[in-house]
Structures are given as structure tokens and as C-alpha cells.
């Protein structure tokens, strides 16, 4: 009996003492994340506080997101969006919170307060009430965040805006892996002139950090992002369809080998309906190979630290970008569009393109040298009937006479090569 009492006392002591040390570890981790986030110039964190007690803590952070607008658009638009996030955190190993009884390192339940926005007060109030965020830190140090948004229905000027519910789960493992699953039921905007619909949308993300810091915007990842949307459509005042895109899918992938990254991107739409034409099976597939990871980080740093107008980003930093391009070329990267195609009622239109740059011919001090360093090969084909139905054959016939396009029976084809500053179209050299 005495030994049993000793064991009980020991366990009780451990359970009472453990939250203190768990709390210290959680606070240290929390501050580390805030420091990394502060390096992300897309937003800033202000008035950060973390008040830790023995079993719990309260954390408050204010996110300030700068809002850039086009000077040509004369709208009274706020300069920044301010979001206050308040968290109640309970420490483990045994956690008792609003969620219930759990075993882990910590549970956080947050409230979000949009204090200033370009949206109206009613919408901001609905978001604050219906947005729920909670996080859990497991014994294996997995950081799991669940976001639930109940949706809103409000009036903005002369339009009814309905944002349907959203759920999302983010898991960060070992500060290197990010797994996300986002499910949004869509959006409707309705006014007297038209109705815009965005259908249900799903996003899946599975990536591994390969360079940089996880929460900084210079981080580079290896993995995949999948995006699927059921539709985007618009109807006029008479409910006549203006356009629709059905079953939209996108995938972005990256693979890093020996500090060289290969990127791929695919885009697919089952149907694209316009008042004058209907298309099916629209596709875009492109790849970029052999990108130096260290140079990509340098590129990200230049982009993220630039304070210039986005429209002037490349002009204001042209010398830096040309130097970065020269560094990228040392690894002989290549760019390819392997499939740009669409099915029309008359047949398939398709094209391909490959681009590479001769690093020996490119001079970072002379932007014009890009023209002599670039090597481009492209080809494509399309049905004659498509252009006949569009009433474009007089123009196409002119291109045929000029040798820009070749007609073979019911097909139009072209083949293009650009190398060392010389353009060759359908085996015919054209002066530039």
C-alpha cells in the first residue's frame, strides 16, 4: 500500500510540475515563430504579448497587412488591414480545455477580430463571429491548426455577397513538413446586372522545406499543391450565361535533387463556355528544370525586400535580376510548354514550346544579349474549320501566303525556331 501511495504521489507531482516546463518550451517555440514571421514583409506582427501561468497562457498578436491599390482607381481604400488574434493556451501533458480532455503538449483556442478592412462593418462583424481557429501541439511536436468559417451573407453597395463555409486543417511536422487540406463551398455575388458564382473548391498541399525558414516568405519547398474548383460562372440580368468554366484543376509540383529544383505546373478545364464558342478539355502543362536553389532564394529576397511599386518591380531592380539570371544560367536551366491545347467543335488546337538560354552568349551587363542567347523551338496545329466558322479565313489566307502558316488539307500548322538572334518560321528565315 505504501508503494502504491508513493507511485500515486510521484505521478501527481509529475503531472503538476510538467505543465510549467511544457509552458516554457511552448513560449520559446512561440517566440521563435513570431521572429520568423516578422521577416515576412508581406505583413507585420505588432503588440505581441505572451502571458504565461503555470497551466495556461494568453497570447495576443496584431497582424498588419499592407494593402496596395492602383492610383488610377479613385476609391477611398484603407492603407492596411489589421487583424487581432487572441489565444487561450492550455499546457499538457493532460490538457483540459473547451475542446475537452486531451493528451499533448498544448491546445490553443483563438478569437479573431478584424479591426479595419475594406469591407463594411456588418461583414467584419460576421467574420469575427463565424471564424474559429484552434491549434494543437502533439507529443511528437506536430503543430495542427483547424480553421472553421461558418460563412457570411451581407450587402456590399448594390450587391449581395454570400461567402459559403470553409474548413481547413494545417499540419506542420518537425518544422520541415507542411500538410494542408482546405475545403471551401464557394461564393456568390448578385446584383441587378449579373450573378457571379464560384463553386466548391478544394486545395491539398504536401510539401517539405528545402531551403530558408519555414515561416519566412523566402522559404523554398519540395512537394505538390493540388487545386480543384467545380466551376466559375457569370449570368447577365436576364440570367443568360455570360461565361462558365467547369471542373477546373491545377497542380504545381517541385522536386529538388543536388540543390537543383525542377518545377511543373498543369492546368485543366473540362468545359469553357462563351456566348460565341464552346471549348472542351483545355490544357496547359509546363516544366522548368535545373533551377539553383541558392540563387532562387536570392531572387526571393530581392522580390520580398523591394519597396517599389509592383508594376515597377523588374524595372527598378533590373540590374539585380540580370545578375541573378546569369547565375541561374550556370546550371543550364530549361523551360518547356509540353501541352497547350483545347478541343473545339471543329477539332483540336494544340502547340508546344521549348526555351533554353546559352549562358556563354548572355551578358548580365547587357540585357539585349538575351536575344542572341535565347533558343526557342515551337510548333502547333489547328483545324481550318475553326477559323472558317469564326470568319477569320481571309486573315489566315494572308498568313499562308506570307509563309507564316502552312495548310495541309484541313489542318493549319506552323513550326518556329529562334536561335542566335535569327528567326526561322516553317523552314524560312525571316529578317528581324
Q: What is the pLDDT of residue 287?
A: 95
Q: Flag whether 350 is in a domain.
A: no
Per the document, the length of the chain is 432
C-alpha cell, 318:
533590373
Is residue 167's pLDDT more than 70? Answer: yes
Q: What range defines the domain where residue 36 resides?
A: 1-149
Is residue 148's pLDDT more than 70? Answer: yes
Which of 40-49, 73-82, 421-430 reaches the highest mean pLDDT?
421-430
Counting Cα atoms < 13 Å in the Cβ hemisphere of 189 gives 11
Provide mean pLDDT across the span 199-225.
87
Q: Flag whether 40 is in a domain.
A: yes
Is residue 98's pLDDT more than 80? Answer: no
pLDDT band at 307 (very low <50, low <70, confident <90, very high): low
Average pLDDT of the residues of the chain: 83
Q: Flag whether 31 is in a domain.
A: yes
Could you tell me which residue, 371 or 317, shows the higher pLDDT? Answer: 371
Closest C-alpha among 145, 162, 144 to residue 153: 162
Q: Flag whether 287 is in a domain.
A: no
Distance CA 18, CA 93 (A): 7
Structural domains counted in the chain: 1
Q: Flag whether 241 is in a domain.
A: no
Q: What is the pLDDT of residue 52?
A: 79
Q: Flag whether 377 is in a domain.
A: no
Distance CA 397, CA 392 (A): 9
What is the pTM (predicted TM-score) of this model? 0.84
- 42-56, 82-96, 289-303, 336-350: least confidently modelled range: 42-56
Is residue 57 packed enough to be buried (19+ CB in 10 Å), middle (13-18) or exposed (0-12)? buried
Q: Flag whether 220 is in a domain.
A: no
Q: Which three-class secondary structure string do you get for the chain? A: CHHHHHHHHHHHHHHHHHHHHHHHHHHHHHHHHHHHHCCCCCCEEEEEEEEECCCEEEEEEEEEEECCCCCCCCCCCCCEEEEEEEEEEEECCEEEECCEEEECCEEEEEEEEEEECCCCHHHHHHHHHHEEEEEEECCCCCEEEEEEECCEEEEECCEEEEECCEEEEEEEECCCEEEEEEEECCEEEECCCEEEEECCEEEEEEEEEEECCCCCCCCEEEEEEEEEEEEEEEEECCCCEEEEEEEEEEEEEEEEECCEEEEEEEEEEEEEEECCEEEEEEEEEEEEEEEEHHHHHHHHHHHHHCCCCHHHHHHHCHHHHHHHHHHHHCCCCEEEEEEEEEEECCEEEEEEEEEEECCCCCECCECCHHHHHEEEEEEEEEEHHHHHHCCCHHHHHHHHHHCCCEEECCEEEEEEEEECCEEEECCEEECC
Distance CA 404, CA 415 (A): 9
Provide mean pLDDT across the span 364-389.
90
Which of 39-53, 150-164, 185-199 reaches the highest mean pLDDT?
185-199
pLDDT band at 77 (very low <50, low <70, confident <90, very high): low
Residue 323: count other Cβ atoms within 10 Å of its Cβ: 16
Q: Flag whether 422 is in a domain.
A: no
Amino acid at each position: 500500500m505504501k508503494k502504491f501511495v508513493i507511485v500515486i504521489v510521484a505521478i501527481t507531482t509529475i503531472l503538476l510540475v510538467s505543465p510549467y516546463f511544457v509552458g516554457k518550451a511552448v513560449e520559446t517555440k512561440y517566440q521563435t515563430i513570431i521572429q520568423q514571421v516578422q521577416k515576412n514583409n508581406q505583413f507585420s506582427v505588432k503588440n505581441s504579448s505572451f502571458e504565461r501561468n503555470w497551466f495556461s497562457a494568453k497570447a495576443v498578436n496584431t497582424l498588419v497587412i499592407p494593402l496596395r491599390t492602383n492610383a488610377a482607381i479613385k476609391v477611398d481604400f484603407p492603407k492596411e488591414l489589421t487583424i487581432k488574434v487572441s489565444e487561450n493556451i492550455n499546457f499538457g501533458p493532460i490538457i483540459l480545455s473547451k475542446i475537452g480532455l486531451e493528451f499533448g503538449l498544448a491546445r490553443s483556442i483563438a478569437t479573431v477580430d478584424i479591426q479595419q478592412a475594406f469591407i463594411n462593418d456588418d461583414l467584419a462583424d460576421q467574420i469575427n463571429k463565424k471564424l474559429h481557429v484552434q491549434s494543437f501541439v502533439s507529443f511528437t511536436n506536430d503543430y495542427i491548426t483547424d480553421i472553421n468559417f461558418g460563412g457570411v451573407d451581407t450587402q456590399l453597395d448594390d450587391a449581395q455577397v454570400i461567402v459559403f463555409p470553409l474548413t481547413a486543417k494545417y499540419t506542420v511536422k518537425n518544422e520541415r513538413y507542411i500538410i494542408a487540406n482546405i475545403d471551401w463551398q464557394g461564393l456568390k455575388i448578385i446584383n441587378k446586372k449579373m450573378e457571379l458564382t464560384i463553386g466548391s473548391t478544394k486545395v491539398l498541399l504536401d510539401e517539405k522545406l528545402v531551403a530558408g525558414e519555414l515561416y519566412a516568405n523566402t522559404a523554398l519547398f519540395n512537394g505538390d499543391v493540388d487545386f480543384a474548383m467545380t466551376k466559375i460562372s457569370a449570368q447577365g440580368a436576364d440570367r443568360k450565361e455570360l461565361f462558365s468554366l467547369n471542373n477546373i484543376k491545377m497542380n504545381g509540383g517541385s522536386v529538388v535533387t543536388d540543390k537543383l529544383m525542377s518545377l511543373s505546373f498543369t492546368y485543366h478545364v473540362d468545359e469553357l463556355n462563351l456566348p460565341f464558342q464552346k471549348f472542351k478539355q483545355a490544357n496547359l502543362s509546363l516544366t522548368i528544370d535545373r533551377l539553383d536553389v541558392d540563387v532562387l532564394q536570392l531572387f526571393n529576397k530581392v522580390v520580398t525586400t523591394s519597396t517599389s511599386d509592383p508594376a515597377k518591380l523588374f524595372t527598378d531592380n533590373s540590374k539585380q535580376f540580370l545578375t541573378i539570371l546569369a547565375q541561374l544560367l550556370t546550371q543550364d536551366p530549361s523551360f518547356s510548354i509540353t501541352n497547350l491545347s483545347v478541343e473545339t467543335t471543329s477539332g483540336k488546337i494544340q502547340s508546344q514550346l521549348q526555351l533554353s538560354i546559352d549562358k556563354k552568349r548572355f551578358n548580365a551587363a547587357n540585357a539585349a544579349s538575351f536575344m542572341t542567347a535565347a533558343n526557342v523551338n515551337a510548333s502547333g496545329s489547328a483545324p481550318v474549320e475553326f477559323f472558317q466558322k469564326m470568319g477569320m479565313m481571309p486573315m489566315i489566307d494572308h498568313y499562308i501566303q506570307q509563309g507564316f502558316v502552312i495548310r495541309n488539307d484541313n489542318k493549319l500548322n506552323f513550326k518556329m525556331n529562334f536561335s542566335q538572334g535569327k528567326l526561322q518560321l516553317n523552314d524560312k528565315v525571316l529578317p528581324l
